[in-house]
A and B are shown apart, each in its own frame.
Chain A
Amino acid sequence: LSTAWGMLVQAAANGLAMGGLYILIALGITLLLSIMRILQLAHGEIYMLGAYLVYSLTAAFGINVFPAIAISMIFMAAVGLVLERFLFRPCRGELAPAVGVSIGLTLILQSLAVSTFGLAEKAIPKLAHGSIVFLSVAVPKDRVIATFIAGLLAVMLYLFLNRTRYGQAMVASAQNPEGALLRGISPHLMASLAMMIACGLAAAGGAMAGSIWMLTPTMGVLPLVKGLTIIVIGGMGSLTGAIIGGVILGLIDGIIPVFFGAVVTSIAPLLIVVAIIMLKPQGLFGHE
């Protein structure tokens, strides 16, 4: 491959891995928006705590990173259940109270991480070492695995929502809450399920990001911003939109810095968001 093509392949592979992680957090945010009608701004901190839990499991108990990620997903799903029941249920469907609660939760969870783990960066064992050579270009194995796991989780969520009774109930609850209620679908149960799935996905994303990069108490802030950007690009409440938006944003973050530098990279997603708001305010896959 020529140097430019080689760089493009490498950058695209990197971008897809980042996109995969963004998708995991965006899927959670969009689920909560659809089912609970709340903007959960502490979702980045769930991502961060999921990563720190994997760090603790691997460092303190010597558990392999993959089972540790699974445990973290289950544990954070349980945390999500508690958060939904005691924090977010009272403010479901209310924008301002939910934002206030989630900002407070952000501060509490970040402080908890600082006091428990300190400010120093921590590392989770790599998902894999070395590189895969593809079209004579080396692509880091850990990023390939992260992309695969993120894709697998997205497919599983899609199948759950479209092929299972509970999934269909969630879709119904998101599309027509009153109609779903009349059919005996409990909004509380759907909200709990949505929060559990969202927190589990965020934990997986955080753990894989912590394995690729490093863990810090503020590591959840940027993914939250990315997740919200994806929702604007893909459309509120659309799973397909979250996936396509995540891929677009990941490719921007992977390719643009290589060819155009960091400044253009930070502006490009904003330009896309502005363009989409002007041309299709409901997002690429959103509904009127």
Chain B
Amino acid sequence: MYFFVVVLMMSVAYGPKSANATETLKIGALVPLSGPVGLIGMIWVRGFELGVDYINEHGGVTIDGRPFKLKLLAADTQGSADAARSAALKQIHSDKVDLVIGGLMEPAKEAINRVAAQAGVLFIASNANIPGHPADVSPKHPFQVRLAVSHDLTHPVDMRFLQKNYPEAKRIAVSAPDFGYEPMIADLQKHAQKHGLEIVYTEKWQWGTTDFIPVMTKVLSSQPDVIFAMVSGQAQYQLQAARQLGFKGPFISNAPLAAEVFLDVVGKDFCDKLIVNAINTVQTPGKIAEIIDRWNQKYKDPFISDAVPAFDVIWVTAQALNKAQSTDARKVISTFENMVRYGDLITAHGAGKMGEKERFGVNRVLVRPIPVTHVLKGQIVSFDLVTPE
């Protein structure tokens, strides 16, 4: 009798699982949730959550023919290497996550790279402030994939747009934060020259600057035709300061800050000749509109556009997992590396692919259409999604 009871218990414990049972795939989100960029980290977590909800509502992901629901575990990196290392160690070794996503700040990404590589866990970086930074994707980081476009892919798109729409503009002044943007500035110069433009002045402002009047006072002393605010979450304040100081020319922001952010902060009067490489909520592709709806249903705070690339990180990861049929880091990365044709991946911005091997030595960077919103006299007059060459 005792023998039968033991057999029965073992069969319950170790027997085949029901076809309806769904397992869980844990995703560790490592983002700054405190400190100077804590708010941005919080928005990214919300975007990840929306992505997880979406995937789970559509059946989760399938690994080896078995359905898995996604579960997100967020941890605070504080934007620093030490805190990121501790958080990554906890998530990987204690929480037993299957993969980690996030990073956001280069020091944190570098630390996550090391921990993930030692544990053989997939690290999906959700952005790159400075493409080509030592923390970015490269053959040296065999477990990292970046599901975010390189910001400098906007440069040829923006220069072409300028040449076409503002042919009289020739002199560009660049306003950039003072942490390692030099390669991107050099890249912009290259593309500017190709389109008959020239960078005449570069102002590097200190990280944490809130008053951009002194910055723009210096920028405008170079008498530019165009101001290019390089990858900055404070581009709206830069536009405000420039307009307050009397600048009337085109202003470009290549950060993923929606046009509405500028309209809200700066006002319609000053939002003229504004070009932003970001979405807007007026002329919105279907999937982005769906993300905005989901945000509005789930959160009481106004929608913030960083949630779109965050959603994409989860959505694109799920596509690769489904294709790889595995959570093994090497298999998933290999799958990503072979998704090199537009359409192999679908993003909220349209058909995407993995690429940029010629720059980074590996095909592990997401390439997808670049949004260009054009605002004239406070009105969004055009929106395009331009596929990078």
Question: Measured between C-beta atoms, what is the minimum distance from A8 to chain B in Å?
Answer: 9
Q: Which of B222-249 contact A (CB under 8 A)?
A: 237, 241, 244-246
Are the CB atoms of A119 and B217 closer together than 8 Å? no
Q: Which of B242-264 contact A (CB under 8 A)?
A: 244-246, 264
- Chain A residues near B241 (CB-CB < 8 A): 140
Interface string of B21-51 (1 = CB under 8 A from A): 0000000000000000011001000000000
Mark the stretch among A87-95, A105-113, A125-133, A161-169 that contacts chain B.
Answer: A125-133
Task: Using A7-B217, A11-B217 as known contacts, say yes or no to A213 and B211 having CB atoms under 8 A apart.
Answer: yes
Q: Which of B206, B217, B237, B264 has the most CB of A within 10 A?
A: B217
Task: Using A6-B221, A118-B301, A213-B211 as known contacts, say yes or no to A140 and B244 having CB atoms under 8 A apart.
Answer: yes
User: Please, which residue of chain B has its CB at the minimum distance from the CB of A118?
Assistant: B301
Interface residues on B, range: 20 to 34
- Chain B residues near A213 (CB-CB < 8 A): 210-211, 237
Are the CB atoms of B244 and A138 closer together than 8 Å? yes
Task: For the complex, give the distance between the alpha carbons of A226 and B205 in Å.
Answer: 21
A20 close to chain B: CB less than 8 A: no
B214 close to chain A: CB less than 8 A: yes
B213 close to chain A: CB less than 8 A: yes
Task: For the complex, give the distance between the alpha carbons of A40 and B98 in Å.
Answer: 51
Task: For the complex, give the distance between the alpha carbons of A142 and B42 in Å.
Answer: 32
Picked from A14, A123, A126, A257, the residue with its CB within 8 Å of the CB of B264 is A123
Are the CB atoms of B205 and A258 closer together than 8 Å? no
B119 close to chain A: CB less than 8 A: no
- Chain A residues near B267 (CB-CB < 8 A): 126, 129
- Chain B residues near A6 (CB-CB < 8 A): 221
Question: Measured between C-beta atoms, what is the minimum distance from A261 to chain B in Å?
Answer: 8
Are the CB atoms of B38 and A131 closer together than 8 Å? no
Picked from A133, A142, A254, the residue with its CB within 8 Å of the CB of B214 is A254
Task: For the complex, give the distance between the alpha carbons of A138 and B265 in Å.
Answer: 20
A120 close to chain B: CB less than 8 A: yes
What are 26 of the A-B contact pairs (CB < 8 Å)?
A7-B218, A10-B217, A10-B245, A14-B217, A18-B211, A118-B301, A119-B38, A120-B39, A120-B301, A120-B304, A123-B264, A130-B269, A131-B246, A133-B246, A138-B246, A213-B210, A213-B211, A213-B237, A214-B237, A254-B214, A257-B215, A258-B214, A258-B217, A262-B205, A262-B206, A262-B209
* Chain A contacts to B: CB under 8 angstroms: 3, 6-7, 10-11, 14, 18, 118-121, 123, 126, 129-131, 133, 138, 140, 142-143, 213-214, 254, 257-258, 262-263
Known contacts A119-B38, A138-B244, A263-B206; 4 additional CB pairs below 8 A are A3-B221, A120-B39, A140-B213, A142-B244
